[in-house]
Structures are given as C-alpha cells and as structure tokens.
A and B are shown apart, each in its own frame.
Chain A
Amino acid sequence: MRRFVLRRAAYAALSLFLLSITIFLFVRVTGDPTVLLVEPGASQADLDALRTELGLDRSLFVQYGTFVRDLVRGDFGRSFYYRTPVLELYVSRLPNSLLLAAAAMVFSLLIGIPSGIMAAVRVGGWWDRGGKIFALLGLSMPSFWVGLLLILFFSVYLGWLPSSGSGTALHVLMPAFALGWYFAAAHMRLARSSMLEVLGSEYVKLARLKGLPEVRVIAKHAFKNALIPVLTLAGINLVLMVNVAVVVETVFAWPGIGRLLYEGIAFRDFPVVQATVLLGGSMIVVVNLVIDLLYAVIDPRIRYER
C-alpha cells in the first residue's frame, strides 16, 4: 500500500512540474510577455522596468527558476484590476465554486445514478428509452445555454428565482442545474452501462442461484460493483466542474473562480488568467491523486497491486 501511495504521489509531482513548465513556456515564448504582464496603458519606461524585473534578458532557465521560486512562495502576481495578490483573490472565490460544483454534482448524481440503474434493470423499457433521450439531450446542450434558458423561464417569465449573484439557496438552484445537467447525462449513461455489465456477471448469476431475493441481488451484489466506475467518473468530474464552470458562472454572475477567469479576460488582467489556469490545473492533479487513493480504499483489489 505504501509503495502505491508513493508512486502515485511522485507521479502527481511530475505532473505539477510539467504543468508549470507548460504555462511558463506558453507565456514567455508566444509573443511578448511584457505586453501581457503589464497594465493596460503603461508607458514605455514601465515596460522596460518590467522587462528587467522579469529578467527577460536572462536565459530561459533563469526565468523559469524565478517563476517557480515565486510560485512556491505563493506569489502568483497581482491583479491589475483589483490591485490585490491573485492568490488571495483566488482563494476567496474558490469556496463559491466548490459550493456550486458540489450542488451540481449532487444534482447530477441524484438524477444520473437512479435513472441509469433503473434503465439497466428494466432494459428496453420506457425508463430506458426515456433515459436514452435524456442522455442525448444532456450531452448535446451546452451548459450555458441551459442556464440562459433557465433564466428566461424562471426569472423573466415566472419571476421565481434570482438571475444572478449568490447568497441564498434560491441563487444556487439554477446555476447548479445548468452546470450539472451535462454531467447528469454522462453519469446516467455510465451507470446504465456499468450496471448492465454487472448484471451479466457470473457472481450476480451465482447470487441468483443461491436463491437470494432479487432486491438483495441488485441492491447488494450488483449496485456496489456498478457504482465504482460511476464514482470514479464523478470524482474526476467534480474537479472538472469547478474548472469548466467558467461559462455558467459568467451567465449567472456567480462569484467563483470561473467568473474570476472571465473577469481576467474581460479586463485584460493577465496575471489573474495565468494564475487561475495554473491553480486550476494543479487542483486537478492533486484531486486526481486523492481519488486514486480513495479508490484503493473502496476496491480492495487495488491495494495489493504491485
């Protein structure tokens, strides 16, 4: 088990390293970084000062070294617009995105898992057919469009729900729905196929041969096994949700890191953009690591992998 943990951790560290290099290279190599990293409306003198500060006259290695050193110290740059360190901004907005993602994930699992399981257990029936249509729609409708439609319907026409901002439970409903919609379809699809596979397995057959009641066969033997792939996907998706919520957060003016990224683009606030991408990517790497470890806890077969 310990070797397993160490190996996965080392792999994650490598990914983080490569991520930082990628971001770094893209900024320094494509176009003139000073234009990006300086405030709009700065003078030529400012540009020159920044150039020396960034060490652009030095070699790439040295620049990268400075870059990493700053990162490790927690210096991700300052936002032009907000005039605060970006890290602070990010950290203050992150909980909102997490909240939204959690709500969306709950929604997607609550809808996705039962409908997927039902579709598999009653394969070919009404539930299955309805599920297929739902899946198709879910995967084809962009989340932000769903959000816009929701606003149109529930805010403009019905006036029930607030169309922007955060604060109350009512504020979360629509963004969570819009964000979770796509994932609900994806989870449903996976739950269905996973359950179908499990239902056809030998151990389910044996469970029936043992004379166990059908409910127990499904709820105990089939369900837990079918759930594994779905939960894995859900874990990966959770982090994905936090990061792709950019558009949904923008539509609903939800104050999360997605909206922060949008503001970075809209206000030409490049340090914000760079930091958000870097932090977002790192988050994904770390969370994937955690998921792998959790997986080992649930599924005993993984623990003993060499």
Chain B
Amino acid sequence: MSASPASPSATTGTPTVFRLPRIRTEGLPLVPIAILVVLVFLAIFAEWIAPYNPEIGSLSQRFKPPAWAPGGSTEYLLGTDHIGRDVLSRLIFGARVSMMVGFTAVVIAGVLGSTLGILSGYLGGWVDQAIMRVTDTWLALPALTFAIFLAAIVGPSEWNIVIILGAVYWTRYARVIRGEVLSLKERDFVRLAIVAGCSKWTIMRRHLLPNVANTAIVLATLMLGVVIVSEAALSFLGVGVPPPKPAWGLMLADGKKGLMAGYWWLTVFPGVCIVLMVLAANLLGDWLRVKLDPQLRQL
C-alpha cells in the first residue's frame, strides 16, 4: 500500500516531515507516463528534433498532404499548412508551448489556490467568508467565458494566457483544499501543535501544507488536461497564444481554413496531439488519485 506523508505522532507533536509518498513501481500507469515523457522530451529538444523552422514556411509548398497520401512527399512527413510551414515541426514546437503554458498555469493556480484554501480553511471567520464569496462568484462563471473576458481586456500573449488561466482556475483548488483543511483542523496533531504554542503560520506551513500536498498534486494532474484544452480553445478563438507561435489550438484554427477543401491533416494531427496529452494527464491523475488518497475518489 502506498504511504501518505508522515504526520507527527500524536504523542510527541514533532513537526511534520514531508516525504515523497512511496509509490510502488509495479502497477505504474505506463501508457500515460510514456506519453508525457515523449511530449516533455519533444518540448525540451524541439530544436534538435524538428526538421524545419516552425514559424517560417515557403508559399510554394503550401497545403502539401502527409507523406503517405497522394501528392505528399517525405520532405514534409505530415504535410504543410496554408503558409507552407511544416506540420510536424509545428507540432513538435507546439508541444513546448502547450506544456509550458499548461504546467505554469497549473502551478500558478495550484499555489494560489492552495494558499488561499489553507488560509480560508484554517483562519475561518471573515477571511474565510471573503475568500469563499470570491471563489463562489468566480466558479459561477464558466472558466472559458471568464478567460475570454480577461483575454479581451489585457490582450493575447503567451504570458497573459498563463496568468489568465492561473487566475481562472485557482478557485477549484481553493474549494477542495479548504475542505480538506477543515477536516484536518480537527485532527489531534493540529490540536497538539496549538497546545504546544505553535503560531498560526507555523501550523499552516509545517502541519497543514504537507498534508494537503497529496490532494494538490492529484488536483494538479487532473487540472492539467482541462487547462490544456482551455488554452487550445482560447488559441483557436484567437485570444490565446498569438501567431506565429505554433500552438496546437492555433493550428486547429488555421486548419479550419482548409477544412472545406479537404485538407484533413491540418485538423487531425494537432487534435490528436491535444487528445494524447489530455488523455495522459487524465489517466495519470486518476491513477494518482487512487494511489495517494482513496478518499479523493469523490473528486
């Protein structure tokens, strides 16, 4: 069985030591991990792997189909888009964009949400009320609509998107973490820490934080898929990552232009990439959820 991070024994009240949860290697979900590893690899080494520059194309080579289709050649394995840019290279560089945006946004949302969740849950009172009201309001707005709204105000750019997505999704964290803190508050090790005279900040930092880390991690993995789809949607609509950067969502938007003419590869391949990444994130998240904390199955 997997272990959860150590809590101080109820008798000594020693501070919590955060250890990485021990995960057995048998039963590791190989498929999602493999997918993620490949994607990360592509993202890091894009310059060396991609055959062409993803942002420059030659107009004489536009709309070339993939190598195995009639009219295609091995020069452009997966075909070219409406400006003659190589699809494969764009997909590879796109991995970098998606990963960066996805991870950073999730981290921002996670840190912000967890912090506010802990504060809200532990301090209670008006702090709790204030944070919860804001959370509820933001949750009432669908994430995508809210993100579009914010993007319309501040203008699209890669960094803006990351911040916007972080700002939109932190509320989901805050809710869940707060719930956990509420129940952790009643546990003996917290009460002992209070009796021992620890300050509120110490308690929150050393006792609560490591214990909600599990939940935060699981939530992060599950959110990753959602964030990536959101980013793709935003880019598709034109308020996400701006051209000529190769975001998968943008490629889909461009691909739509060639859709009616039957240039299927411009739509299928970027979508497949998105699906793979989201699938991997979801599967990993599900597995983590079961492994790290069976109580989270309600998520």
Are A and B in contact, CB atoms below 8 Å, in the complex? yes
Interface size class of A (residues with CB under 8 A): 35 or more
The answer to whether B279 and A136 have CB atoms under 8 Å apart is yes
A137 to B282, CA, bound (A): 10
Indicate whether B38 reaches chain A with its CB closer than 8 angstroms. no
The answer to whether A140 and B144 have CB atoms under 8 Å apart is no
The answer to whether A277 and B252 have CB atoms under 8 Å apart is no
The answer to whether A262 and B237 have CB atoms under 8 Å apart is yes
- Chain B, residues 262-285, CB within 8 Å of chain A (1/0): the string is 101001100100110011001100
Indicate whether B290 reaches chain A with its CB closer than 8 angstroms. no
Indicate whether A302 reaches chain B with its CB closer than 8 angstroms. no
Indicate whether B52 reaches chain A with its CB closer than 8 angstroms. no
- The verdict on A142 contacting B153 (CB below 8 Å), with A156-B262, A284-B142 known, is no
Contact residues in A for B225 (Cβ distance below 8 Å) = 139-140
Indicate whether A217 reaches chain B with its CB closer than 8 angstroms. no
- The verdict on A19 contacting B137 (CB below 8 Å), with A140-B279, A142-B232 known, is yes
Q: Among residues 132 to 147 in chain A, which have CB atoms less than 8 Å away from a CB atom of chain B? A: 136-137, 139-142, 144-145
The answer to whether B136 and A15 have CB atoms under 8 Å apart is yes
The answer to whether A277 and B145 have CB atoms under 8 Å apart is yes
The answer to whether A277 and B282 have CB atoms under 8 Å apart is no
Which of the candidate stretches B91-99, B103-111, B253-261 sits at the interface with the other chain?
B253-261
The answer to whether B278 and A140 have CB atoms under 8 Å apart is yes
Contact residues in A for B145 (Cβ distance below 8 Å) = 243-244, 246, 261, 276-277, 280-281
A31 to B255, CA, bound (A): 33
A27 to B152, CA, bound (A): 10
A288 to B141, CA, bound (A): 12
The answer to whether A142 and B271 have CB atoms under 8 Å apart is yes
Indicate whether B238 reaches chain A with its CB closer than 8 angstroms. yes
CB < 8 Å neighbour of B152 from A139, A270, A280, A281: A270
A137 to B236, CA, bound (A): 21
Indicate whether A161 reaches chain B with its CB closer than 8 angstroms. no
- The verdict on A246 contacting B148 (CB below 8 Å), with A148-B252, A148-B256 known, is yes
Q: How far is the CB of A76 from chain B (nearest CB, A)?
A: 14
A239 to B141, CA, bound (A): 10
A285 to B149, CA, bound (A): 18
Q: How far is the CB of B176 from chain A (nearest CB, A)?
A: 17
Residues of B within 8 A of A (CB-CB), count: 42
Indicate whether B46 reaches chain A with its CB closer than 8 angstroms. no
Indicate whether B146 reaches chain A with its CB closer than 8 angstroms. yes
Contact residues in B for A152 (Cβ distance below 8 Å) = 259, 262, 264, 267-268
Contact residues in B for A91 (Cβ distance below 8 Å) = none
The answer to whether A26 and B271 have CB atoms under 8 Å apart is no
Scoring A23, A136, A148, A156 by chain B CB atoms within 10 A of each residue's CB, the highest score goes to A148
- The verdict on A280 contacting B148 (CB below 8 Å), with A31-B154, A149-B267 known, is no
The answer to whether B153 and A149 have CB atoms under 8 Å apart is no
- Chain A, residues 260-300, CB within 8 Å of chain B (1/0): the string is 01101110001001101100110011001000000000000
Contact residues in B for A250 (Cβ distance below 8 Å) = 236-237
The answer to whether A265 and B282 have CB atoms under 8 Å apart is no
Indicate whether A233 reaches chain B with its CB closer than 8 angstroms. no
- The verdict on A136 contacting B232 (CB below 8 Å), with A152-B267, A261-B148, A265-B238 known, is no
Contact residues in B for A251 (Cβ distance below 8 Å) = 256
Contact residues in A for B148 (Cβ distance below 8 Å) = 246, 261, 265, 273, 277
Indicate whether A30 reaches chain B with its CB closer than 8 angstroms. yes
- Chain B, residues 130-169, CB within 8 Å of chain A (1/0): the string is 0001101110111011101111111000000000000000
Binding site for A on B (CB under 8 A): 133-134, 136-138, 140-142, 144-146, 148-154, 225, 229, 232-233, 236-239, 252, 255-256, 259-260, 262, 264, 267-268, 271, 274-275, 278-279, 282-283
Additional A-B contact list (12), CB under 8 Å, known A139-B225, A142-B232, A148-B252 = A15-B137, A15-B140, A22-B138, A136-B279, A136-B283, A140-B225, A141-B271, A145-B275, A149-B267, A265-B237, A281-B141, A288-B140
Q: What are 8 sample pairs from A and B whose C-beta atoms fall under 8 A apart?
A: A26-B150, A142-B274, A145-B274, A149-B268, A152-B262, A246-B148, A247-B237, A265-B238
Counting from the closest, the 6 A-B pairs by CB-CB distance are A145-B271, A18-B137, A140-B279, A243-B142, A140-B278, A277-B149
